[in-house]
């Protein structure tokens, strides 16, 4: 069973969640976690000016996703940073190229979920996840969120991401905050939960 995690990460926060989600997927017997990036749309000089060139170089070891890989996957997790309360442009452009898959119903019935990163606590985590889910529903996918059986979601003793719509992290205004252990645990839980549901659907 192939559980595909497709993401865009500029400074590494979403990539860290993706890695954690893959760890969760691997906990389900028979599940194989595959990590893929969406294509970059920013020119190299802009990435350099944004101070992300070195990080992007390190993240480039993960292959770019193809549409065929979406069709072949048994379940899919999508990860994106937030841009003004919505998914980033790189992810939107990738999804806008899936019209052919939509036309033939290639993703209908596949379990899918979303996770994201924002700069601040109230920077649009839930709006990003919910608006992303619209695309999954148009493809006929089975949406899998982050249930409250993940107890870390109810923590109030620390600042933390996480919502019933999916795992999240808070990067901080300057991007210096890395995903906390609780946020990584949420991503692992969501990956494991998605893979478990996929396994049941395939049984």
Q: At how many degrees (to 10) do helices 181-202 and 13-25 cross?
A: 40
pLDDT in tens, 8-44: 999 999 999 999 999 999 999 999 999 999 999 999 9
Predicted pLDDT of residue 105: 98
Q: What DSSP line would sit under the chain, residue for residue?
A: -EEEEEE--SSSHHHHHHHHHHHHHTTSTT-EEEEEEPPP-S-HHHHHHTT-HHHHHHHTTSPBP-HHHHHH-SEEEEEEEEETTEE-HHHHHHHHT-HHHHHTTTTTT-EEEEEEEESSTTSSHHHHHHHHHHHHHHTT-EE----TTSGGGG--SS----BTTB-EEE--TTS-PPPPHHHHHHHHHHHHHHHHHHHHHH-
Q: Which of 126-130, 171-175, 186-190, 191-195 has the lowest mean pLDDT?
A: 171-175
Closest alpha carbon to 117 in 47, 16, 195:
16
Predicted pLDDT of residue 14: 98
Closest alpha carbon to 9 in 31, 32, 45, 35:
35
Predicted pLDDT of residue 181: 98
Predicted pLDDT of residue 47: 94
* Integer Cα distance of 101 and 89 in angstroms: 20
pLDDT in tens, 73-125: 999 999 999 999 999 999 999 999 999 999 999 999 999 999 999 999 999 99
Predicted pLDDT of residue 164: 97
Predicted pLDDT of residue 152: 97
Predicted pLDDT of residue 157: 96
Taking the model in full, what pTM does it have?
Answer: 0.96
Predicted pLDDT of residue 116: 98
Predicted pLDDT of residue 185: 98
- Mean predicted lDDT score pLDDT of the chain: 97
* Integer Cα distance of 144 and 36 in angstroms: 19
């Amino acid at each position: 069973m192939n559980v595909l995690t497709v993401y865009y990460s500029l400074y590494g926060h979403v990539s860290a969640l993706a890695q954690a989600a893959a760890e969760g997927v691997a906990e389900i017997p028979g599940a194989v976690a595959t990590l893929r990036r969406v294509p970059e749309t920013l020119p190299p000089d802009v990435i350099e000016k944004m101070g992300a060139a070195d990080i992007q170089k390190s993240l480039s070891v993960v292959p770019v996703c193809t549409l065929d890989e979406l069709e072949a996957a048994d379940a899919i997790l999508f990860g994106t940073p937030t841009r003004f309360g919505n998914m980033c442009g790189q992810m939107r452009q990738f999804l806008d190229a899936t019209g052919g898959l939509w036309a033939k119903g290639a993703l209908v019935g596949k379990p899918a979920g979303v996770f994201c990163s924002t700069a601040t606590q109230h920077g649009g985590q839930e709006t990003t996840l919910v608006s992303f889910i619209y695309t999954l529903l148009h493809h006929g996918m089975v949406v899998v969120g982050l249930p409250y059986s993940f107890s870390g979601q109810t923590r109030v003793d620390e600042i933390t991401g996480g919502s019933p719509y999916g795992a999240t992290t808070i990067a901080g205004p300057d991007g210096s905050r890395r995903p906390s252990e609780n946020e990584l645990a949420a991503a692992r839980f969501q990956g494991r939960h998605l893979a478990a549901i996929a396994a049941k659907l395939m049984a």
